Amino acid sequence: MSSDKIFGLLADLVLLTHLAIVAFILFGLLLVIYGGCRGWHWVRNPWFRVAHLVAIGVVALESWIGVVCPLTTWEMSLRQRARLATYEGDFVAHWLRSLLYYEAPPWTFVVAYTLFGLAVAASWIKFRPRPFRRDNLVLK
C-alpha cells in the first residue's frame, strides 16, 4: 500500500473520530434530557456527564479563542500528505456548508457552541449526576 493511501486512511480515521465526538456531544444532551425524563439511571453517571461537559466545554473554548480544532488540523495535514483535497476553516462549519448549503459568519458558531454548552450545564441542574463512587465506573 502506498504512503498516499495510508495517509488518506489515517485522515479518514481522524474524520470518523471527529464525527464520533460531535455525535457524543449532540446526542449526549438529548439522551440526558430524554433519559432523565424516563428515569434512566445511566444518564446520571458522573463519568459520562463530566466527559460530556468537558467535550462541549473544549469546543466552546476553542471557538471563543479562535482556535481551529486540533482534529481538523490533523485531518487536513494527513489529507495534504496523501495529496487529497482539504477544506478551510472549522470542521462543523465546513460540513454544515457541504451538507446543508448553509453559510454563516464564524460568530454564529461561537454563539451556538456557547448556548449548547450552557444547555449541557443546565442539564446538571434538572438531571443531577450521581456522586462519584467506585461503582459509577460503569454505565448503569
Q: Is 110 exposed, middle or buried (0-12, 13-18, 19+ CB in 10 A)?
A: middle
Tens place of pLDDT for every residue, the chain, 140 residues? 788 889 888 988 888 898 899 999 999 999 999 999 999 999 999 999 999 999 999 999 999 999 988 998 998 899 899 887 776 666 666 665 565 445 678 888 889 999 999 999 999 999 999 988 766 565 55
Q: What is the mean pLDDT of the chain?
A: 86
Rounded CA-CA distance 52/60 in Å is: 12
Report in angstroms the alpha-carbon separations of 110 from 14, 82, 97, 104. 23, 31, 16, 11
Give the pTM. Answer: 0.78
Rounded CA-CA distance 22/28 in Å is: 10
Q: pLDDT value at position 101?
A: 43
- Amino acid at position 124, single letter: W
